[in-house]
Copies of this chain bind each other. A is one copy, B any other.
């Protein structure tokens, strides 16, 4: 039961990652999962409920990072630990090559438009992220690791927006392989600007 349902959800996630909601059909879902149509309607009420379940799972496993697993006082250590930790969170769950940046963002936008409840979850996630960074910055400042007149939250925003922006820029320049490297480079530049 739980196994079949998970199999359906993982397969559906891969499809929804590469195509829009409407573009994914039961035909494909059946082919990719090996299940018949009856199985789908046994576990889910309709197509939208499958999509909702997929997004729920996706949000839990892929979107936000668990900041408690990262250094919370030392900014330098935080930056260096970020991507290894992020990568570890996701491995073992899905073929990560398919979960590339373009598809991840496309899926987020699709969910934002289709699922009314999704927006508030994303908002909460992003606010938590901002809070975590802000607290980190404040700690780094009080430890005199950094020194600047910029308020904590605004500096936190510079780091966060840089990481979002690098993804978009990398997508647009067809250079998604370099996202981690470029993010580290930009974070480092920011860091040097505010280092005490």
Where the two chains meet, the residues of A that have a C-beta atom closer than 8 Å to any C-beta of B are: 18-23, 102, 105-106, 109-110, 112-113, 119-120, 122-123, 125-127, 130, 148-150, 154-155, 157-158, 160-169, 171-174, 182, 185-186, 189-190, 192-194
Contact = CB atoms under 8 A, between A and B. Distances in A.
25 contacts: A19-B113, A20-B23, A22-B23, A102-B109, A102-B113, A105-B109, A122-B172, A125-B172, A126-B173, A130-B173, A150-B193, A155-B189, A157-B186, A158-B186, A158-B189, A158-B190, A160-B169, A161-B168, A161-B186, A164-B165, A164-B168, A164-B169, A165-B168, A167-B168, A193-B194
Contacts of A22: 20, 22-23
- Tell me how many chains of this kind the complex includes: 2
A192 B150 contact: yes
B123 A113 contact: no
Contacts of A162: 158, 161-162, 165
